[in-house]
């Protein structure tokens, strides 16, 4: 399995679980929960693939759908829907953060492969990472988390910047991607629990 495939699989499973938990939190029925899981896991990748001019992987690779189904089944087997609200929300934050980091990496790698400049790489990483979550949140009438959490979309942009620089320095590989993933995931979780925010303008 390539680095891209590994990150994509992690993102698909993690985001499907976060979509599952959001559906449970909003009191959706089983179909609604499944739709939320698929939308969260696949939305950003579909938009990314359209931008780079290729048929979305979700429409051609059955393994992509199997990873989403695996995430839903895992959530059911672990009975995440029966957890107390605070514990279930904590699991949601962790899964959503893992999905964010994994998909930001895949988006940035697609941008590098397409020989995009820094702006293009950062845009692809951002859309891949937050696109599905935004669609999920809007579907359940929730303000998208990327608009309310300062260290959410910022993490995707940082990942894209680091990957772009590593590629320029010819040091992009398994080790550097792992360091980037661990560092940015830790930063995301620390920022959430410490309630760090970027400066705001206005009153």
Percent of the chain exceeding pLDDT 70 equals 98
More confident residue, 180 or 3: 180
3-state secondary structure of 120: helix
**C-alpha pair distances (Å), 185 with each of 35, 50, 58, 65, 191:** 26, 27, 25, 25, 10
CA distance 103 to 8: 6
Query: Does position 108 have pLDDT exceeding 90, yes or no?
Result: yes
Element (H, E) at 168: helix 150-168
CA distance 94 to 75: 13
How buried is residue 169: exposed, middle or buried, by Cβ count under 10 Å (0-12/13-18/19+)? Answer: exposed
CA distance 129 to 119: 15
**8 Å CB contact between 40 and 16:** yes
SS3 content of the chain, % helix, strand, coil (to 5): 80, 0, 20
Q: Global pTM?
A: 0.92
**8 Å CB contact between 41 and 16:** yes
**8 Å CB contact between 126 and 104:** yes
Model confidence over 5-43: pLDDT tens digits?
999 999 999 999 999 999 999 999 999 999 999 999 999
User: According to the model, what pLDDT value does residue 146 have?
Assistant: 81
Model confidence over 127-138: pLDDT tens digits?
999 999 999 999
Q: 109-139 burial by CB neighbour count: b if 16+ within 10 A, else e? A: bbbbeeebeeebbbbbbbbbbbbbbbbbbeb
Residue with tokens 């772009």, as numbered in its chain = 164
Describe the crossing of helices 85-113 and 174-194 by its angle, rounded to 10 degrees: 140
């Amino acid at each position: 399995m390539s680095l891209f495939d590994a990150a994509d699989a992690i993102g698909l499973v993690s985001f499907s679980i976060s979509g599952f938990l959001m559906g449970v939190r909003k009191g959706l029925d089983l179909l609604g929960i499944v739709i939320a899981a698929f939308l969260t896991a696949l939305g950003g990748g579909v938009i990314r693939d359209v931008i780079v001019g290729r048929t979305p992987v979700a429409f051609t690779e059955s393994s992509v759908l199997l990873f989403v189904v695996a995430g839903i089944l895992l959530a059911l087997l672990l009975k995440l829907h029966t957890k107390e609200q605070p514990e279930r929300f904590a699991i949601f934050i962790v899964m959503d953060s893992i999905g964010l980091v994994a998909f930001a990496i895949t988006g940035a790698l697609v941008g590098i492969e397409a020989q995009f400049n820094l702006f293009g790489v950062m845009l692809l990483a951002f859309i891949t990472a937050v696109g599905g979550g935004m669609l999920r949140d809007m579907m359940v009438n929730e303000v998208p988390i990327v608009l309310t959490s300062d260290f959410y979309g910022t993490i995707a942009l940082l990942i894209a910047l680091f990957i772009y620089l590593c590629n320029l320095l010819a040091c992009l590989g398994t080790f550097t991607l792992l360091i980037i993933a661990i560092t940015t995931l830790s930063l995301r979780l620390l920022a959430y629990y410490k309630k760090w925010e970027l400066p705001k303008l206005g009153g």
